Structure 1
């Protein structure tokens, strides 16, 4: 994902912002595929230690979170626009992306987003990821209405507008794609 400019939000999503989020969603989808395609079951299920996730668990977590955020986006768009609530947003687009993609601060996932193997094997989970990501991307390309005046409340970042929720989806996927790279770099990771 390219870096965003730090210009303040002054109105509806611009064509450049729409292009940015569509590209970010597509790029991070491709990067996840590159990270997991061709891995063996031993590689997918290897855990660096008992309290760290395997690659398969990372993929499932991405799907769980994206499905949850996308449902919140759909709900947020069903509510009336509230331009007066913009002042409640405390994080910039740039800071949101940096905070989400960065891996210096590790956070425990809320219980509904902890992987349990509910989607079956990793190929089934990746297929579900592709379905969810396609819906995210289609929405980003075609959404009508001002995404900047509809909102989503995040448990850490607070109130976000729905454009920022889409940024969160792409950035969160990238965060865990980096975690997959970390798993692959762990001593003892299976070579096949």
Structure 2
């Protein structure tokens, strides 16, 4: 994901914003595939510590969160547009991406988003990821409503508009893709 320019949001969603989010979603999808494709089951399930996630668990968490945010976006788009609620948004696009993508401050995943193996093996989880990501990209490309005047409430970040929800999806996936890189760099990570 490239850095966003620090410009104020005035709405409606611009073509440049729409192009940016589509590219960010596609790029982060490719990067996740690059990070996991060809790994053995031993590599996918290796944990660098008892309290750390494996690569397979990172992938499952990405899918769980992405599905949750996308469902919230689908509900938000069904609500009437309300430009007045823009004043409730307390985080800029730039800060949202930086805060989500950055890994200097660990954030414990809420229990509903803790990996449990519910999607099966990593191949099945990645297939689900691709299906969800295709829906995200389609929504980003084709939503008729102004994503800047429809909202959802995030448990940490507060009210976000639906463009920011898509930014969150891409940045969150990238955050955990970096975590996968950390797992691969951990002592004891298997060569095959």
Which bin holds the TM-score, normalised by the shorter protein? over 0.9
Aligned-residue RMSD, C-alpha: 0.4
How many aligned residue pairs are there? 192
Give secondary structure in 2 for the equivalent of 1:159.
Answer: strand
- Residue 70 of structure 2 corresponds to 70
Give secondary structure in 1 for the equivalent of 2:187.
Answer: coil
Give the distance between the partners of 2:122 and 2:37, measured in 1 at CA: 10
Give the distance between the partners of 2:181 and 2:3, measured in 1 at CA: 20
Give the distance between the partners of 2:35 and 2:83, measured in 1 at CA: 40
TM-score, reference length from structure 2: 0.99
- Residue 45 of structure 2 corresponds to 45
What are structure 2's unaligned runs of at least 5 residues?
Answer: none
What are structure 1's unaligned runs of at least 5 residues?
Answer: none
TM-score, reference length from structure 1: 0.99
- Residue 25 of structure 2 corresponds to 25
The 5 A counterparts of 1:126-165 are 126-165=126-165
Question: Runs ≥4 in structure 1, deviation > 2 angstroms?
Answer: none
Give the distance between the partners of 1:88 and 1:3, measured in 2 at CA: 24
- Residue 116 of structure 1 corresponds to 116
Give the distance between the partners of 2:51 and 2:37, measured in 1 at CA: 24
Give secondary structure in 2 for the equivalent of 1:168.
Answer: helix
Q: How far does residue 11 in structure 1 lie from its aligned partner after superposition?
A: 1.2
Give secondary structure in 1 for the equivalent of 2:42.
Answer: helix
- Residue 98 of structure 1 corresponds to 98
Give the distance between the partners of 1:86 and 1:107, measured in 2 at CA: 26
